[in-house]
Structure 1
Amino acid sequence: MSQAFVALQSFLLKSSGLALDREKQYLAEARLAPLIQQSGLANLGELIARIESDRGLAKKVTEAMTVNETFFFRDRHPFDGFRHAILPDLLKSRGATRRMRIWSAACSTGQEPYSLAMILDEEARRLMGWSVDIVASDISESVLKRAREGHYTHFEVQRGMPTPHLVRYFSKRKDQWSVNESIRARVDFRQQNLMRDFSHLGQFDIIYCRNVLIYFAPEQKRDVLHRLARCLAPDGYLVLGAAESVIGYSTEFKPHPEYRVVLVRHAASAMTPLRSVM
């Protein structure tokens, strides 16, 4: 393992929480090769030396190493849980304020928050008179640009998108499908590194943080989960990816009885019982 790769591991852990295994050296070099060439550098060692004084280049390195795999209604269960368990519970508990806030953390190119926005549109009758905010964030400015534009290839809309949703919420433009303005307007996209303070985003009733923590080192994972809990309402919901768990990293959440990927803040147990959905 080269010294340059060791330095890259240290940089990524500090800048983004990404824990890069030694077996990933070849992958890292392959991902960074275009950036090395564009910057007029000879190798990974020169790139690492340069990012110490070039913040713009350091940001590009972090973005190049970030995993941006996503698709509409990915894994279904987090969205079924939202429609059939989370939303009904919050419609009851937030009846006085008629306000709800959702955060899609590490949203990549926007498929997750747009999927949530489509569900909210389908539930519009139940949400009449309600204010529902969707904040979507990612560390990468380049993927956020794509998310804000809302343009997707035929392959991207085929992955997980039910045909009725495609017909109702998208317009065909040449070789791309574009999210309708009514759906795009529901989502507020912001740049946010989860390793940095995100308390300024405010408190949320639901946080989707899926398929992100699986790449973090244990200490970074504990820290992020602790800060996510601080930004979540006492009876709020945290939704993780199918391969993720808080076991061994946080005691601030408990599993929902019906949806494994849905977690509830422990504070909720002292307030209202969880609603079981059959």
Structure 2
Amino acid sequence: MTPTEFNFLKTFLKTRSGLMLSNEKQYLVESRLLPVARKAGMSTLSELISKVQRGGNAALEKEVVEAMTTNESFFFRDKTPFDNFTNVMLPALMKARGDRKRLRIWCAAASTGQEPYSLAMLLKEAAPRLAGWRIEIIGTDLSTEVLEKARTGVYSQFEVQRGLPIQLLLKYFTQNGDLWQISSEMRSMVQWRMMNLLESFSSMGEFDVIFCRNVLIYFDQETKSDILNRLAKQMPQDGYLVLGAAETVVGLSSAFQPVQGHRGLYHRGKEPAAGAPRTSSVAGSRLFAS
């Protein structure tokens, strides 16, 4: 791959997905795009790049973007955000939303679904406390391929061994050979949508909790700031934002304030205002019946 071809790909991916490729990432381009080229009947990466440059093949362009933006995920990744969800966010929101008994949660870079399903399992474990509550979890991603895997909820032995406690595996999954499928009940708790964070998500409605982890690191400062400020508009003043361990709002947005003592956790406002008027869609949400 020539420097000119790599520069074209950098511009193409930045425009389509916000992904910033540094020069040392050329190996990543080759490892991810050579399979796309071969699948399309091309023997070299240069052929693929030339085809994309000529335009007119939206499906191929989409495959290139999805191949480069697909990131790994695993159950209960980094553990701390899920402990914070159980011990900090959920108790506070149950108190603040006790009159309405509704919660909306958005996983904004859901990949193959482990993060939303991890939250679904935590909520199911807390079901006795959530009797009568309506919980909506939405998982979005740029890649339709990973979203399809998330919808099926089928994972390899390797995938379920990464972070998933054995008791939850046996409780919520069914084994079929070397594969494990999460239960239909868990699958029914999550809605899946294709979403490019560079585009408007104002139609998504308002969320009490937004997980946007390990995706901002791939954007430039201006794009990070834009996404954070638009996320803030989708949240009430006492909503929570969860970022990855290497991500921060500092210097990017004044719309969020750190929750002291809890790494990666932010409040929508400095002074949380429980009970502020909200509007939200609850279509397809999961009801924890009494």
**Normalised-by-shorter TM-score class:** over 0.9
SS of 1:269 mapped into structure 2: coil
Query: Which whole-Å deviations, capped at 9, do the CAs of 1:15-74 have from their partners, x for residues lacking one?
Result: 111000011123212211121223234544443343332111111001110142111011
Equivalence for 1:83: 86
Query: Which whole-Å deviations, capped at 9, do the CAs of 1:80-128 have from their partners, x for residues lacking one?
Result: 0000010011101111211110001111110000000001001111111
Equivalence for 1:271: 273
Gaps of 5+ in 2: 275-290
Query: Which whole-Å deviations, capped at 9, do the CAs of 1:111-148 have from their partners, x for residues lacking one?
Result: 00000000100111111111000000111111111110
Equivalence for 1:208: 211
Counterpart residue identity of residue 129, structure 2: R
Task: Give the fraction of aligned pairs with identical amino acids, expressed as a percent.
Answer: 49
Mapping of residues 254-269 of structure 1, within 5 Å: 254-266=257-269, 268-269=270-271
Equivalence for 1:50: 51
| TM-score, normalised via structure 1 length | 0.94
2 CA distance for matches of 1:162 and 1:39?
A: 40
SS of 1:233 mapped into structure 2: coil
SS of 1:204 mapped into structure 2: coil
Check the 8 A contact 2:73/2:111 in 1, yes or no. Answer: yes
Equivalence for 1:96: 99
Check the 8 A contact 1:13/1:217 in 2, yes or no. Answer: no
The Cα of 1:270 is off from its aligned counterpart by 5.6
Among 188, 193, 201, the alignment partner of 1:190 is 193
| TM-score, normalised via structure 2 length | 0.90
Give runs of ≥4 in structure 1 deviating > 4 Å: none
1 CA distance for matches of 2:177 and 2:5?
A: 44
Equivalence for 2:223: 220
1 CA distance for matches of 2:33 and 2:133?
A: 46
Check the 8 A contact 1:235/1:271 in 2, yes or no. Answer: yes
1:6 matched to 2:18: no
Gaps of 5+ in 1: 273-278
Equivalence for 1:276: none
Mapping of residues 75-224 of structure 1, within 5 Å: 75-224=78-227
Check the 8 A contact 1:4/1:44 in 2, yes or no. Answer: no
1 CA distance for matches of 2:265 and 2:70?
A: 22
Equivalenced residue count is: 271
1:238 matched to 2:241: yes
Equivalence for 2:35: 34
Q: Which moved more, 1:24-33 or 1:70-79?
A: 24-33
Equivalence for 1:17: 18
2 CA distance for matches of 1:44 and 1:218?
A: 30
